[in-house]
Structure 1
Amino acid sequence: MTVHHIHDDRPAARWEDAFLSGNGEYGIMVHGDPHTERIVFNHHRYVLPNGTRDLPPPALAGRMEEIRDLILDGRPYEAQKLAAGGCPILWTQPFHPGYAMLVDSRERGPVRGYRRVTDFSTGEITVRWTDETGEHTRRSFVSRADAVVVQSFSTADRDLVVSLTGDLPGRPEDVGYHQRAYQEDGRVFLHIKGRYPEGLGAYGFEGLVLLHAPGGTVDIVGDTVRVRDADEVLLLSKLDRHETEQGNTAALSEALTALVPDYAELLARHTALHTPAYHRVELDLGVSPSQRGLPVRALIAKGYRAALLERMFHSGRYLLLSSSGVLPPRLTGLWLGAWGAAWSGDFTTDANINLQMAGANLGALPEVTEAYRSLIRGQIDHWRDNAREIYGARGLLAPSRTDGESGHLFHFNDDWPLMMWVAGADWLLYPLHEHESVSGEHSAELAGWLGEAAVFFEDFLTRTDADGHVVFVPSFSPENAPHSAFDPFAAVNATMDIAAARHALTVSGDPRFASLLDRLPPYLVDERGALAEWAWPGAEPSEEHRHVSHLYPVWPLHEITPDDTPELAAAAHRALELRGDENLSAHGSLHRAFAAARLKDAALTEAGLRKILDNDMVFRSLMTSHNPDLDIYNADAAHALPGLLLEMLVYTRPGIVELLPALPDMFTRGAVRGVRCHGGIVIDELRWEPGSLTVSLRSRTEQTVTLAHRASGLRKNVTLPCDVRVSVSAPALS
């Protein structure tokens, strides 16, 4: 039976191994030490002000024609300097951890039978052990229903001291904390307040804990609370970020006191939302019970690839759901145990966030897609400002990164001309477009945004080449440069930009764009037979680079496919083969693996997976690192893996459902259930083993689709009545 949890037989020795729970707004990290427990509290909107929140985009429209001339004249670095105007590169407001709760046990006997568990089905973290005083159980979860962290400590914990601290690694000296414990109207609270440096943005943030200890003795000692002989210690916590010195303590207190102080009831309210969402899709890779029963540290260390991937599929869905709510996942999901997150811990939009979102639609998590929509909706006006101020254009120009508060484009300098990335709006709107294709739901809001993405290209494409094709200038292929990564980035006709324009102009559905579509430049296949990253003479490839942005028409778009455009698909495959590994970054390896799966290359897809599994990139929480050797806590691989595994097992676009398009040799048998396909089709179950394959599908509407399986030669039209299960069998590769 598939296992929907991880367990460990020892506490976390480092914050990166802390077990994780979240509700898409609050997140907790449980270390699990029986005697000196440490639980780190996070909030999606905890970002350190740095003066960039209200920065406008650069007013470049009046210089844009000169910038274009310089690039076309072969002087890209001069163009970059003119665009940047000497500005230093400015970063988004950095995501930061909130504070830690410390639980100090005064009874410190020898520990036996220790077990720390994260239950993906419920979002509950449990720590259990036994000592001479009895069996101890500490349970925690973050409620999706009530926006509260709920913690329960068992009756065996007879003497505990609870406190809050802002003493987390890397805390800037100019971020101050004040903590206190107090009693009000017969209730006991712990309160912590953080204060940011003045004049840069928000004032500060806070956390408030309401402590219930029925039957026990509760004493306030300074800024700590000591609890003895309680039947249970129940802690309810709320967090907030505030603009003024006053804060929101009164509102937090009122909300906490309104909650029923009953762990089981609060958990039931939470699981009514969390559990059905989590269980919509399940994967079984035929893993042995003995491997499924291993502690997470052993599962990682022993190299059981199929077992680890099966668990990471379910963990990844759990973490993706848990970090999505008010916002989608950041570079670190929703969790951070130390200050100083790499790349500000923000939303890096030119690759990372779309990779993390890859499994949301096929994986039946509309809650995640809705959180992603909220991020875009909250800053769409800023995208309009960017287009107007930088290019004098209507429509939308997305930034290459955002902290969740500002969508203005200010992250650039002489060397990094990120204002020249014009594909961003289409790239970032694609997951919402895919959601509509999968769900059958359509919104006027998204239709309007897609239309604005098209209108931007109508205004932006002002130059024409000798063949009558429009010219994309300036153009930027994230984050690569022609010739080498150290040459100027400003370029012409980046393949990603052409693909974005073609997609935006097509899906807008506006017939007035037909002429512009006809004038888009064709993709270029170079002398090596590879799809070129820039469709412009003299733009030589730079292959040692982590990004493969020129494969946008392969993934996530369906423009280049082996069936419909075989010559371009072969060129894209050649480009993928020629790409070097650079630094083995997680997002780079998985981006290539997604493209390889679309091109039906199981071996190349598996190679991308192995780069994650074989280079020590998985923490004991099943969160992942950005680089090998557990370097940089990062959610890219953790969240992208479920989407990649689904793409290996099911390829879908409107009218097509292809089974096992990129099945690796290590997946000899298995089953997947609940996959959502384009056109409102659900795969109730796909099961394979040597010599056989069966699939059961149902459709939201009556339709006929092409069902394919390359290994067996199956390709047939199947009529699906409305909401009727239809099963098809085919001999599979033995």
Structure 2
Amino acid sequence: MKKLLSSAYLIIFCLTSTLSFGQSRNVLWFDKPAEHFEEAILLGNGKTGATVFGGVSTDQIYLNDATLWSGEPVKADINPEAYKNLPGIREALFKEDYRQADRLNRTLQGKFSESYMPLGTLSINFKQTGEVANYKRQLDINNAVSKLSYDQNGTHFARQYFVSNPDKVMVIKMTASRKGALSFTISFKSQLKYVTAKANKTLIVNGYTPYHVAPDYWREIDPIRFDEKRGTRFSSDIRVKNKGGVVAVSDTSLIVSNADEVILYVSTATSFNGFDKDPAKNGLDNKAIAQKQLDDAALKDYSILYKRHVTDYQRYFKRVDLDLDGGAVIDKPTPERLNAYSTGADDKNLEALYFQYGRYLLISSSRINGVPANLQGIWNPYIRPPWSSNYTMNINVEENYWMAESANLSEMHMPFLTFIGNVAKTGKSTASTFYGINRGWASAHNSDIWATSNPVGEFGKGEPNWANWNMSGAWVVTHLWDHYQYTRDKAFLKSYAYPLMKGAALFCLDWLVKDKQGFLVTAPSTSPENSFKTNDGVKGSTLYGSTADMAMIRECFKQTIAASEELKIDLPFRDSIKAAMKQLYPYQIGKKGNLQEWYYDWEEPDPKHRHQTHLYGLYPGHQITREKTPDLAAAAEKTLQTRGDETTGWSKGWRINLWARLKDGNHAYKMFRELLRFVPPDGAKNINYTAGGGTYPNLLDAHPPFQIDGNFGGAAGVVEMLLQSDGERIMLLPALPDAWKNGTVKGVRARGGFEITMVWKNGRLLKTELLSKNGGNCVLNYQGKDLNLSTRPNHTYKINTNLQVIK
């Protein structure tokens, strides 16, 4: 009789579990455990990151904390007399001696940024053995919860994982269909220095990071340097709450035996106390913080923790919905769907899922002010991660935030926006000591949680094409203006954004010098990570007036002028910028019809180069358009054609947006499909710029290896195909690809403080709803026709296919 009841209970339990998985446009699922990082499920609350492998005999969970980095506050004046080399560099440049200019440019280099650290690995080793059937794990991005279930020896096992922002803990619930079936051991390991201790049903971990970690691409005798008196402290407290069975605790593990149900709580904390505070001497009390988070969470019932987590997450995620009329969701594991899609299958629900997955990743990795999402978001298992997992400021960290405003996640933009204020503080010293500029601030290629702003290269050992670029300050402040344009938050503009924008503009104003023709140019100048080849065969990277530099300065000047006018302040300064703008070296169209990357029309050593920074004025800038600058738009298109479509992951993300700005939705869609090309997982063994980008089985971007900017750039590109705005007009379906014949998008945002919902059929807009958050004038554009609206705050306007307001 007991056996019959047990079997009946198992049938009901399995049926309920199967129904709870279901099919959804917002679900990734897998039919086997992850072997590599690129197959695992990523969870996060913006600070604590968890990478869940979902094993049967052993479940590995990589733990990260957004504030856990190597290093300590920077000494901004590390090369205090570097600026004295500027006259010699400029003299060589204007004598057209580019070899000498490259050599001398190395004198304007400092130390490398620091690296984002892995906190450790939580291992759950199960004692059950036997054949496994009906295995399934999933990530439901509608509620940011992962589930796993399988059958083993007649018992159905299930786990549920989430990382809560309201309660600051990771929670894992484990259940089984048979009483007393849960027996396992929990242990912790880290590549950092650490010790473990025990408390009541709790394993306590305390440790510290290195005070220096060299980049993974850099050869150094002692690349990982620890000192117990230096570095960020960290804690991870792990507690078990069990129903049935017993729990034993040793100094190194938690042992659960014969439990019916287990809830596992994981709390992480660090001593990071700001970019300018020594985390070892003036840090937060990580031990007390981790313990309080754990104690507070453990007092709440699991259902309460779950509800608080889902409610918090969904108030961001559910703002936007995208339906591309994909019909029923294909009932196959995500890797199979991705593989089929790569070979030409139609899967519009996968395309919508990829877009929403980008939004999920941003919510999950960007919630801490001053600590933006890095190259890997917040998920990194390596002590020397690819490219230090830092803030690469010549495209990558900016690309992380391209969709923050348009995809209705403005709050997730704030970690980056507040980080800019930190960089500006160290950047004042960088401007003075490296460039002899005593007004404003500057920042360069790489940064980190300590707001490093100096050009890197290890004091002359780096190649100038990547080490010496110094225009990131002019780039990043455009995000401040964007946030204002989307939110119309004048207090933010006045008290925070404008002073930073002005500081970046001041540096640019004083950095510019006159060339032989009388134009204002930057000198020395580089174009990020690219090189030129002169007509005499000289290959170099140091020139003057690179197109990328000039485009970023134009955008910075233009927006600073607009901000000054909006606030009705700084008229003399505004006039000085306007005067300088008239003298900037203009865009040049080369003999092949391309937009020149360099001051001169030289051949490119690598015409297929992954970077396309000289197209900044097209996107993310607003200087080049089909309507206002058709010649420059045609030249930009020619450049994209020359660059080709085969490129690395983040670069594909950028090219989607560039083609969308050119109103070529079909080419943008082609690039989007290629971004979703299946790339086999390999645990970051393949670091290859030329391998071609794509997507791993868990939908993470393959640079390769994993870089999250491709996910965010691809998601931004989806919005850019459907909606564009420049502060003057809102363009509806400006680059709709033929493949997206029918669809609905809800809740995307336009500059001016507007939310847009659109429905289209057979490629034609049927109806639009516009929610005006702040009121004001608005111009809607569709297929060459404009609708001028004077809107009221918090009022919704319904508009028909002929751009007429429905009364």
Q: Same fold (TM over 0.5)?
A: yes
1:455 aligned to 2:455? no
Q: Which amino acid aligns with 2:64?
A: N
Q: What is the aligned partner in structure 2 of residue 97 from structure 1?
A: 118
Q: What is the aligned partner in structure 1 of residue 365 from structure 2?
A: 323
Deviation at 1:499, TM superposition (A): 1.6
Q: Are the structure 2 counterparts of residues 649 and 144 from structure 1 closer, same or farther at C-alpha, using a change threshold of 3 Å?
A: same
More off after superposition, 7-16 vs 342-351: 7-16
* Equivalent residue for 2:184, pick from 139, 143, 161: 161
Q: Which amino acid aligns with 1:135?
A: H
- 1:231-630 equivalent positions in 2, closer than 5 A: 231-242=260-271, 243-244=279-280, 248-259=286-297, 260-291=299-330, 293-303=331-341, 304-326=346-368, 327-393=371-437, 394-412=439-457, 413=461, 415-416=463-464, 418=466, 420-442=468-490, 443=492, 444-466=495-517, 468-483=518-533, 487-509=539-561, 510-536=574-600, 543-580=607-644, 584-614=647-677, 616=679, 617-627=694-704
More off after superposition, 587-596 vs 201-210: 201-210
Q: Are the structure 2 counterparts of residues 221 and 701 from structure 1 closer, same or farther at C-alpha, using a change threshold of 3 Å?
A: closer
Q: Are the structure 2 counterparts of residues 542 and 7 from structure 1 closer, same or farther at C-alpha, using a change threshold of 3 Å?
A: closer
Q: Are the structure 2 counterparts of residues 8 and 418 from structure 1 closer, same or farther at C-alpha, using a change threshold of 3 Å?
A: closer
2:532 is paired with a residue whose SS is coil
Q: Distance in 2 between matches of 1:211 and 1:54?
A: 43
Kindly indicate whether the alpha-carbon contact (under 8 Å) linking 2:68 and 2:234 is maintained by their aligned counterparts in 1: yes
1:300 is paired with a residue whose SS is helix
Q: What is the aligned partner in structure 2 of residue 665 from structure 1?
A: 738
Q: Distance in 2 between matches of 1:453 and 1:654?
A: 22
Show CA shifts across 1:552-595 (max 9, x none). Answer: 111111111111222222222222222245x7211222222211
Q: What is the aligned partner in structure 2 of residue 69 from structure 1?
A: 91
Show CA shifts across 1:199-228 (max 9, x none). Answer: 495055332212222443111245222212
Kindly indicate whether the alpha-carbon contact (under 8 Å) linking 1:619 and 1:625 is maintained by their aligned counterparts in 2: yes
Kindly indicate whether the alpha-carbon contact (under 8 Å) linking 1:164 and 1:190 is maintained by their aligned counterparts in 2: no
1:189 aligned to 2:215? no
Runs of 4+ in 1 over 6 A off after TM superposition: none
Deviation at 1:37, TM superposition (A): 1.1
1:126 aligned to 2:147? yes
Gaps of 5+ in 2: 1-22, 211-224, 272-278, 562-573, 680-693
Deviation at 1:542, TM superposition (A): 5.0
Q: Distance in 2 between matches of 1:24 and 1:255?
A: 15
1:500 is paired with a residue whose SS is helix
Show CA shifts across 1:388-420 (max 9, x none). Answer: 111111212112111222323141235225564
RMSD: 2.7
Q: Are the structure 2 counterparts of residues 516 and 655 from structure 1 closer, same or farther at C-alpha, using a change threshold of 3 Å?
A: closer
Q: Which amino acid aligns with 1:531?
A: L
Deviation at 1:111, TM superposition (A): 2.6
1:178 aligned to 2:206? no
Gaps of 5+ in 1: none
Q: What is the aligned partner in structure 1 of residue 15 from structure 2?
A: none
1:634 is paired with a residue whose SS is coil
Deviation at 1:675, TM superposition (A): 0.7
Q: Distance in 2 between matches of 1:655 and 1:176?
A: 55
Q: Which amino acid aligns with 1:321?
A: I
- 1:639-678 equivalent positions in 2, closer than 5 A: 639-678=712-751
Kindly indicate whether the alpha-carbon contact (under 8 Å) linking 1:19 and 1:125 is maintained by their aligned counterparts in 2: yes
Q: Distance in 1 between matches of 2:267 and 2:636?
A: 50
Q: Are the structure 2 counterparts of residues 215 and 378 from structure 1 closer, same or farther at C-alpha, using a change threshold of 3 Å?
A: farther
Q: Distance in 2 between matches of 1:618 and 1:124?
A: 22
1:378 is paired with a residue whose SS is helix
Deviation at 1:158, TM superposition (A): 2.9
- 1:30-45 equivalent positions in 2, closer than 5 A: 30-45=52-67
Q: Are the structure 2 counterparts of residues 395 and 217 from structure 1 closer, same or farther at C-alpha, using a change threshold of 3 Å?
A: same
TM-score, reference length from structure 1: 0.91
TM-score, reference length from structure 2: 0.83
Q: Which amino acid aligns with 1:585?
A: T
Q: Distance in 1 between matches of 2:183 and 2:410?
A: 41
Kindly indicate whether the alpha-carbon contact (under 8 Å) linking 2:149 and 2:158 is maintained by their aligned counterparts in 1: yes
Q: Are the structure 2 counterparts of residues 703 and 428 from structure 1 closer, same or farther at C-alpha, using a change threshold of 3 Å?
A: same
Q: Are the structure 2 counterparts of residues 357 and 486 from structure 1 closer, same or farther at C-alpha, using a change threshold of 3 Å?
A: farther
Q: What is the aligned partner in structure 1 of residue 794 from structure 2?
A: 723
1:202 aligned to 2:231? yes
Q: Distance in 2 between matches of 1:579 and 1:195?
A: 41
Kindly indicate whether the alpha-carbon contact (under 8 Å) linking 2:202 and 2:237 is maintained by their aligned counterparts in 1: no
Deviation at 1:32, TM superposition (A): 0.8
1:725 is paired with a residue whose SS is strand
Q: Percentage identity across aligned positions?
A: 24
Deviation at 1:639, TM superposition (A): 1.9
Q: Distance in 2 between matches of 1:460 and 1:477?
A: 16
Q: Distance in 1 between matches of 2:182 and 2:663?
A: 60
Show CA shifts across 1:78-135 (max 9, x none). Answer: 2232232397x85322223221111122222433322211121222111122334533
Deviation at 1:692, TM superposition (A): 5.1
Q: Which amino acid aligns with 2:113?
A: T
Q: Distance in 2 between matches of 1:689 and 1:328?
A: 40
Q: What is the aligned partner in structure 2 of residue 679 from structure 1?
A: 752
Q: Are the structure 2 counterparts of residues 86 and 514 from structure 1 closer, same or farther at C-alpha, using a change threshold of 3 Å?
A: closer
Deviation at 1:421, TM superposition (A): 2.5
Show CA shifts across 1:408-456 (max 9, x none). Answer: 3141235225564343112112222111101111322110011111111
2:725 is paired with a residue whose SS is strand
Kindly indicate whether the alpha-carbon contact (under 8 Å) linking 1:80 and 1:414 is maintained by their aligned counterparts in 2: no
1:118 is paired with a residue whose SS is strand
Q: Which amino acid aligns with 2:290?
A: L
Kindly indicate whether the alpha-carbon contact (under 8 Å) linking 2:31 and 2:333 is maintained by their aligned counterparts in 1: yes
Show CA shifts across 1:7-38 (max 9, x none). Answer: 21211121221101101111001111122111
1:636 aligned to 2:636? no
2:712 is paired with a residue whose SS is helix
Q: Distance in 2 between matches of 1:94 and 1:251?
A: 24
1:633 is paired with a residue whose SS is coil
1:138 is paired with a residue whose SS is strand
Show CA shifts across 1:322-355 (max 9, x none). Answer: 0112222211111123443211111111011122
Kindly indicate whether the alpha-carbon contact (under 8 Å) linking 2:740 and 2:763 is maintained by their aligned counterparts in 1: no
Q: Are the structure 2 counterparts of residues 330 and 305 from structure 1 closer, same or farther at C-alpha, using a change threshold of 3 Å?
A: farther
Q: Which amino acid aligns with 1:263?
A: Y
